Amino acid sequence: MKLPVTITINGRAYQREIEPRLLLVHFLRDMAGLTGTKIGCDTSQCGACTVLLDGVAMKSCTCLAAQADGASITTIEGLSADGQLAPIQEAFWAKHGLQCGFCTPGMVLATRALLETTPQPTPEQIRHALEGNMCRCTGYQNIVRSVQHAANMMGGRP
Amino acid sequence: MYAVDFDYYRAGSLADAQKLLGDHPGAKLLAGGHSLIPLMKLRLAAPPAVVDIGRVAELRGVTLSGAAVRIGALTTHTELAASADLGRAAPALAETAAQLGDPTVRNRGTIGGNIAHADPASDLPTVLVALDARINVVGPSGHRTIDAAKFFTGLMTTSLEENEIVTSIDVPVAQPGRGSAYVKFSHPASRYAVIGAAAAITLSGGTCSSVSVAIGGLVAHARRLPSVERALTDQAPSESVVAKAAAAVAADLGRDVSGDIFASAEYRTAVAPVYVKRALLAAAARASAR
Ligand SMILES: Cc1cc2nc3c(=O)[nH]c(=O)nc-3n(C[C@H](O)[C@H](O)[C@H](O)COP(=O)(O)OP(=O)(O)OC[C@H]3O[C@@H](n4cnc5c(N)ncnc54)[C@H](O)[C@@H]3O)c2cc1C
Ligand code: FES
Ligand code: FES
């Protein structure tokens, strides 16, 4: 079976014919060519593939592209405008919230979802919100600092 | 990882979903996909077709109606955790949803999918069994309602018949003097329950006039603990009385406990009374506060 789908990614509509078993993460990476979204575990555990679907953080390796038909996706490529880092990206850079960077796109999008609902999160709330995102490099301390820094830079505005 | 090839159908309504299931033998329902898609990627499941019910609005939402709160099967864990009505009517269930998995899992996973999948390490079955919830289903032979305690029948097995769809779950509204709680020992990576204990207690005149307690995680499916319930009924729930009652969990579990690479059966058996005790004490404390 071939399915026609239209998925809007970072404001641009992508119309493609897909196999039903195509995962959203493969649609993003292979059909739209947006390789910022990573595949880590491929078993729904690590959060490297986290994107926003209609504003809600989710694991794109655990969603069929067909389920996202008609939806709006935000990936890491959608955060920076005109080569300018978004405040969350800036904060991860300033506070050394990354080493190899593999987990970072997922961390940044999970952070974006958190700050949307909780503009001034406590360290506890940050840890809770990033529970689904694994990092094998940083030990998480600097990630928590990065999120706090982002919240401060954004002045409590989502 | 790619699933074995399958056909995809999207249901626009409950009636549409029933028709699609009937038209495509062997088809599986797809709700949030957070149990089914991982299984299909690992090729542990290879249905010839899936029927996506993710957009069937009539299956979604929490409504309070008199003595029960009705939860649509497609309500996500995030929505359960955020529902003020559920927080008042069945706080243990709302709190459980808030601790389940991680935020992205809660954003997609649904209560209907969680119970239909019936993973022994799931949290919601244990709470629903303790709270005497009732599961409403519709299928080729019409509507019926199943008590939560009879819904879960084995390892990833339920009493759902072929092509039956869970439509909603009814949870009794907690009356004054009744308190409930769920405590779990989470697996550190997945957050699934290694052991989960749920309790609901009604206090009248300082003693427990009704005790309902269920356990999950360490046995094939969530189940009530009648020996523990008997040991606490008509007693005042002091710490020592509760600890003694919780110890009766050994009689209820017998040799049914299973272990894995993370926690052996012996270990789980040894730790179970601690979690049962904590759930009972928390439920009793809430009962006396209401
Ligand atoms: C990383 C991770 C961690 C998790 N941690 C936890 C945890 O700590 N505790 C916990 O309880 N759960 C946990 N889960 C499971 C999660 O709660 C799932 O959302 C849930 O088990 C399945 O819901 P779903 O909507 O995604 O169902 P799906 O995956 O869409 O479906 C699951 C099964 O149910 C059937 N089904 C779905 N809806 C219906 C319906 N209305 N009627 C009849 N059958 C139906 C499907 O055909 C399928 O067989 C975790 C999952 C992941 C991926
Ligand atoms: S790749 Fe999706 S959770 Fe790891
Ligand atoms: S920076 Fe390497 S995994 Fe997080």
Interval between CA B262 and ligand 2 midpoint (Å): 21
The partner residues of B68 in beta bridges, in order of sequence, read: B65, B172
How does pLDDT run across B87-109, given as a tens digit for each residue? Answer: 999 999 999 999 999 999 999 99
Report all structural domains of chain A as residue ranges with CATH numbers, in order of start.
3-78 (3.10.20.30), 87-153 (1.10.150.120)
Q: How far is the CA of A58 from the centre of ligand 2 (A)?
A: 10
- Lowest pLDDT segment from B189-193, B244-248, B263-267: B189-193
- Phi first, then psi, for residue A68 (nearest 5°) are -95, 5
How do the domains of chain B map onto residue ranges? 7-52, 60-172, 178-289
Alpha helix stretches (DSSP H) within A2-122: 24-26, 87-94, 104-117
Is B178-289 the same fold as B7-52? no
Mean pLDDT of B263-287: 97
Tell whether ligand 2 has an atom less than 6 A from the beta carbon of residue A48: yes
Task: Report yes or no: A112 and A62 within 8 Å, Cβ to Cβ.
Answer: no
pLDDT in tens, B175-223: 999 999 999 999 988 889 999 999 999 999 999 999 999 999 999 999 9
Fold of B7-52: 3.30.43
Q: What single-letter amino acid sits at B165? A: I
Residues A70-89, mean pLDDT to the nearest whole number: 95
CA of A59 to the centre of ligand 3 (A): 17
Domain B60-172 classified CATH 3.30.465.10? yes
- Say if A110 is an interface residue toward chain B (CB within 8 Å): yes
Interchain pair A50, B38: CB under 8 A: no
| CATH (residue range B178-289) | 3.30.390.50
Residue A74 pLDDT class (50, 70, 90 cuts): very high
Task: Give ligand 3 pocket residues (Cβ under 6 A).
Answer: A 98-103, 135-138
Q: Give the model's pLDDT for residue B66.
A: 87
**What mean pLDDT is predicted for residues A1-29?**
98
Tens-place pLDDT, residues B6-63? 999 999 999 999 999 999 999 999 999 999 999 999 999 999 999 999 999 999 999 9
Instruction: Give the pLDDT score at B1.
Output: 84
Q: Which of A23, A44, A60, A133 to mutate to test the pocket of ligand 1 (most atoms within 8 A of CB)?
A: A44
- pTM summary value: 0.96
**For strand A12-18 and strand A3-9, is the pairing parallel, antiparallel, or unpaired?**
antiparallel
B8/A20 touch (CB, cutoff 8 Å), yes or no: yes
Q: Please report which confidence band the pLDDT of residue B145 belongs to, taking 50, 70 and 90 as the band edges.
A: very high
Q: Among the atoms of ligand 1, which is closest to the Cα of residue B186?
A: 8
CA distance B216 to chain A (A): 22
- pLDDT of B246 reads 98
Confidence of residue B155 (pLDDT cuts 50, 70, 90): very high
Which residue of chain B comes nearest to A25, CA vs CA? B1
Chain A interface includes B44 (CB < 8 A)? no
CA A108 to CA B28: how far, in whole Å? 34
Closest-lying ligand to the alpha carbon of B31?
A: 1
| Ligand closest in space to the Cα of A97 | 3
Mean pLDDT (whole number) for A77-95: 94
With CA atoms as reference, report the closest residue to A51 among A111, A94, A5, A11.
A111
Distance from A6 to chain B by nearest Cα, in Å? 15
- pLDDT given at position B190: 82
pLDDT at residue B83 tops 90: yes
Which of B3, B34, B54 lies nearest to residue A44, judging by beta carbons? B34
Check: CB of residue B195 under 8 Å from CB of residue B215. yes
Instruction: Report CB contact under 8 Å: A62, B6.
Output: no
**pLDDT number for residue A155:** 85
Distance CA B129, CA B235 (A): 22
Q: Which of A47, A67, A128 sits opposite B104 (nearest CB)?
A: A47
**A131 chain-B contacts, CB cut-off 8 A:** 102-103, 191
A21 and B2 within 8 Å at the Cβ level: the answer is yes
pLDDT band at residue A158, thresholds of 50, 70 and 90?
Answer: low
Q: Name every residue whose Cβ is closer than 8 Å to that of residue B87 and which is 6 or more positions away in sequence.
A: B94
Partner residue facing B103 (CB), from A42, A67, A129: A129
Mean pLDDT score, A57-68: 98
Query: pLDDT tens across A24-60, in order?
Result: 999 999 999 999 999 999 999 999 999 999 999 999 9
Q: A50: CA distance to ligand 2 center in Å? A: 7
